[in-house]
Amino acid sequence: MPPVSVEQFVRAVDHTLLDPGAGERSVHALCDEASDRGFAAVCLLPWWVERARAALDDVAVCTVIGFPHGLETTRGKCEAARAAVALGADEIDVVMAWGALRDGDLEATRDDLIALVSAVHEEREQAMVKVIIEASQLNDNQIEVACGLVAESGAEFAKTSTGTAGGATVAVVELMRRVLPARVRIKASGGIRSAADAAAMLQAGAARLGTSSALAIVNELEANALAR
């Protein structure tokens, strides 16, 4: 497997902090690290969006909605997403109601996503939506169905996982890439802790990587480059 370069990694990574116990000092450190390294985005809980936006210029602010189960009401998710975008979020990672999908309630799952994507784009046309399908809780057929609903919703990304119920795998990313239209990109998230993990996910077809280990991976990549 060819190694990922530092430049490839930093352009792809969402530097992530979703620990509900993390405080303002940790959020400021996350933003400083992302700005210093030029990461694509920071991903944090909605409470911190406004402060992250104030701290960052050239790094996108991403937040999570319906996290981690996707079972808030559609109205509640839409209102939360609109509020986050109004406060400065550039990207919304929303959890699909995967339990409803697994139960066969595809129409409600689809309508929920379409409403959320529409709400985000109405608030700011350039804002992006990544739909978390929680692939570890679905079989391959259900993953294909979930990807079809993501594409139908108008979201820009399908995302593998919340990281709370199993992480990304190469096989899942490859499957998602096969069934998604080219315009829908993939974010792999959960369990990406090393340069090898990052390279495997990018090679499998991911365009973004969500990880709380971004700084450690950059340090590893830089050390590897010096050793070559």
Tokens of 47: 């409470």
Cβ density class 69-101: b for 16+ within 10 Å, e for less: ebebebeebbebbbebbebbbbbbbbbbbbebb
- Examine the residue annotation and report whether 77 is marked as an active-site residue of this protein: no
* CB contact at 8 A, 107 and 148: no
Q: Can you list the positions of beta strands (E) in 75-146?
A: 91-95, 128-132
Give the chain's length.
Answer: 228
Q: Which of 90, 112, 130, 187 is catalytic?
A: 187
Phi, psi of 37 (to 5 degrees): -90, -15
* CB contact at 8 A, 109 and 100: yes
Distance CA 185, CA 157 (A): 5
Q: Which of 77, 112, 159, 197 is catalytic?
A: 159
Residue type, 191: G
Q: Which of 14, 93, 112, 197 is catalytic?
A: 93
Distance CA 5, CA 3 (A): 6
Residues designated as active site? 93, 159, 187
